[in-house]
Amino acid sequence: MHERVLDARLRIAERGPVALLLSALVLTAFPSLLRASQDPGRRDGTGWALPGSLSRERPGTIGIAASGPRAGEAVFRALEAAEKISTGSIHGVATFWAMTRDGKIHRFSNFGRGGTATLFISGEETGVAPPPEIAEARMAGLISTGPREPRIGEPQPERYPTAGDGIGFVVGHRLPSVVGKNGLPVNHEVFLLLKSAVSARAAVDSVMKHNESLDVGLIAVDRNGAVAMHNSALVDRRYDYGHARGEDRRTGAVVETIMNEIHPHLAVAQLVVDVALQVMTGSREPEFQILVKAGTRVALADEYRIVVDGNGVATQITTVVSEHLQGRRTAVIPYILSRVVQNGRVIGYTINEPLTVLESGVIETVSTQREMKVWAKREPRVCRLERPGYTVCDVP
Looking at the structure, do residues 345 and 218 belong to the same domain, yes or no?
no
Report d(CA 126, CA 124) in Å as an integer. Answer: 7
Task: Answer whether 342's CB lies under 8 Å from 310's CB.
Answer: yes
Residue 343 DSSP one-character state: T
Report d(CA 220, CA 172) in Å as an integer. Answer: 8
Looking at the structure, do residues 129 and 233 belong to the same domain, yes or no?
yes
268 belongs to a structural domain:
yes
Looking at the structure, do residues 249 and 320 belong to the same domain, yes or no?
no
Number of helices (H), then strands (E), belonging to the chain: the values are 8, 26
Looking at the structure, do residues 330 and 196 belong to the same domain, yes or no?
no
241 belongs to a structural domain:
yes
Give the residue from 102, 359, 31, 66 showing the smallest Cα distance to 220. 66
Helix (H, G, I), strand (E, B) or coil at 301: coil
Looking at the structure, do residues 253 and 140 belong to the same domain, yes or no?
yes
Using the 3D structure, point to which of 236, 253, 281 is the last residue of a domain: 281
Peptide bond into 380 cis (omega under 30): no
Predicted local confidence at residue 157, as pLDDT: 59
Report d(CA 45, CA 181) in Å as an integer. Answer: 13
Task: Answer whether 286's CB lies under 8 Å from 305's CB.
Answer: no
Report the 10 Å Cβ neighbour count for 322.
9
14 belongs to a structural domain:
no
Element (H, E) at 142: strand 139-144
- Residues 1-35: b if buried by 16+ CB within 10 A, e if exposed: eeeeebeebeebbeeebeebeebbeebeeeeebbe
Report d(CA 253, CA 333) in Å as an integer. Answer: 32
Looking at the structure, do residues 317 and 360 belong to the same domain, yes or no?
yes
Using the 3D structure, point to which of 257, 281, 305 is the last residue of a domain: 281
361 belongs to a structural domain:
yes
Predicted local confidence at residue 111, as pLDDT: 75
7 belongs to a structural domain:
no
Report d(CA 306, CA 249) in Å as an integer. Answer: 27
Looking at the structure, do residues 161 and 252 belong to the same domain, yes or no?
yes
Instruction: Give the global pTM.
Output: 0.83
207 belongs to a structural domain:
yes
Domain span at residue 75 reads 52-281
41 belongs to a structural domain:
no
Report d(CA 169, CA 66) in Å as an integer. Answer: 11
Report d(CA 303, CA 321) in Å as an integer. Answer: 10
Report d(CA 309, CA 312) in Å as an integer. Answer: 5
Report d(CA 62, CA 68) in Å as an integer. Answer: 20
Looking at the structure, do residues 241 and 343 belong to the same domain, yes or no?
no
The CATH number given to whatever domain includes residue 59 is 3.60.20
User: For the purposes of burial, counting CB atoms within 10 Å of the CB of 192, is it exposed (0-12), middle (13-18) or buried (19 or more)?
Assistant: buried
Question: How many domains does the chain contain in total?
Answer: 2
Looking at the structure, do residues 96 and 189 belong to the same domain, yes or no?
yes
214 belongs to a structural domain:
yes
Helix (H, G, I), strand (E, B) or coil at 231: strand
CA 288 to chain centre: 27
Looking at the structure, do residues 268 and 332 belong to the same domain, yes or no?
no
Using the 3D structure, point to which of 240, 255, 281 is the last residue of a domain: 281
Looking at the structure, do residues 133 and 248 belong to the same domain, yes or no?
yes
pLDDT in tens, 133-192: 999 999 999 999 997 665 544 445 567 899 999 999 999 999 999 999 999 999 999 999
Residue 100 DSSP one-character state: -
Digit-by-digit pLDDT tens for the chain (396 residues) are 344 444 444 454 555 555 555 454 444 444 433 333 333 333 232 333 333 333 344 579 999 999 999 999 999 999 999 999 999 999 999 999 999 999 999 999 987 789 999 999 998 899 999 999 999 999 999 999 997 665 544 445 567 899 999 999 999 999 999 999 999 999 999 999 999 999 999 999 999 999 999 999 999 999 999 999 999 999 999 999 999 999 999 999 999 999 999 999 999 999 999 999 999 999 999 999 999 999 999 999 999 999 999 999 999 999 999 999 999 999 999 999 999 999 999 999 999 999 999 999 999 999 999 999 999 999 999 999 999 999 999 998
Looking at the structure, do residues 343 and 303 belong to the same domain, yes or no?
yes
